[in-house]
Amino acid sequence: MKIIFAKLNNDPPHSLSKKDIKRIFTLVPKKWTSLVDQVIFSAEIFQNSRFDRPVIHSSYSSRLNILSRGFSKEDIVKEVFRELGVNGGIAKTGYAKHLPKSELDKLDLVIAPYLDSFLNEKT
């Protein structure tokens, strides 16, 4: 898996590191990550984007696109786990990959142990 960080000319910085992404990928089932060949940290700020979530997987390009700038580490880690859970078939997305609240709630229950493990792990 290739991890690419877009060059930044100003603040805010990316919220996660390569090491963080590698840790996340070791915590989840292989099925969740099997369709990801690249992780791209975008220079774009989420609030200025067209997406309704800051982490989006493109099945066409096998990329996990992360718009982490301006988020806390905890918030963006949760979003990465959510998107990987969607890839693993835990929740169903609707039009334009929108996640309804009922699916988000179900997803959050499934990812909670992974998120806790990541946040409580000593580095």
Taking 80 as the threshold, does the pLDDT of residue 12 lie above it? yes
DSSP string spanning 86-122?
HHTTSS---GGG---HHHHHHHHHHHHHHHHHHHHS-
- Per-residue confidence (pLDDT) for residue 122, from 0 to 100: 61
Give residue-wise pLDDT tens across range 45-104. Answer: 887 777 778 998 888 899 999 999 989 999 999 999 999 998 777 766 655 566 778 888
- The number of domains in the chain is 1
- Per-residue confidence (pLDDT) for residue 76, from 0 to 100: 96
- Per-residue confidence (pLDDT) for residue 95, from 0 to 100: 53
When the pLDDT of each residue in the chain is averaged and rounded to a whole number, the result is 87
User: Which tokens is 73 given?
Assistant: 């580490």
Range of the domain at 27: 2-120
Torsion of CA 76, 36, 52, 73, to 10 degrees: 0
- Helix 73-87 × helix 18-27 angle, to 10°: 40
pTM: 0.88
Q: Tell how strand 2-5 and strand 63-66 pair up.
A: unpaired
Q: Which amino acid, 38?
A: Q
Percent of the chain with pLDDT over 90: 54
* Mean pLDDT for the stretch of residues 33-43: 92
Q: Which residues 6+ apart lie within 8 Å of 109 measured at CB?
A: none
